[in-house]
Amino acid sequence: MTQNRFCALLTQHVDLPERLMHARLLDTKRRNLAVYGYGIKGFVLSIVETAIEVTDRRIPAEDIQTILAFGHTMIEHPVEVIEGAREVLEALRARDHELWLISKGDLFDEESTIARSGLAPLFERIEIVSEKDQATYERLLARYGIGPDEFLMVGNSLRSDVLPVIAAGAQAVHVA
């Protein structure tokens, strides 16, 4: 939604097809990932940078303020918990499973999102990491003395939730 608002805003300044604006933004986000990491603030900074580049530095300050307001809206947006998620977590807790939440991104963004979700009390451990890769999962399992055969990851990303966990010798379930 924010990317579409961004494109609508920029069409006031440049004659560029929407798909190319999306592509330029994606390139900027990828380039900035090593600097800003994952999260809303890095996303908004990438939008600002793209807007400056695409308009050849002609974008007015009030439009930069509008882009910053997009970020505020994203940060303040209510967390939408997937239907049935709370009940599944509660059922697993009732069966004495130890639940972890492993999230990647900006510490402030992730902590805020987790708090607003209301799910934090259901987890024994909440880990916010900069990257969810094989080394990260191996480090977390070693830190808490958990063997790969005792760990099952359930996640919505093949790239960061499933493949690196399997590479670490544990099991993973992909939820689409």
Rounded to whole angstroms, what are the CA distances from 15 to 10, 45, 47, 54? 8, 22, 17, 10
pLDDT digits (tens, 9 = 90+) for 52-96: 999 999 999 999 999 999 999 998 889 999 999 999 999 999 999
pLDDT digits (tens, 9 = 90+) for 119-159: 999 999 999 999 999 999 999 999 999 999 999 999 999 99
* CB count in 10 Å sphere of residue 73: 13
Q: The tokens 């900027």 sit on which residue?
A: 28
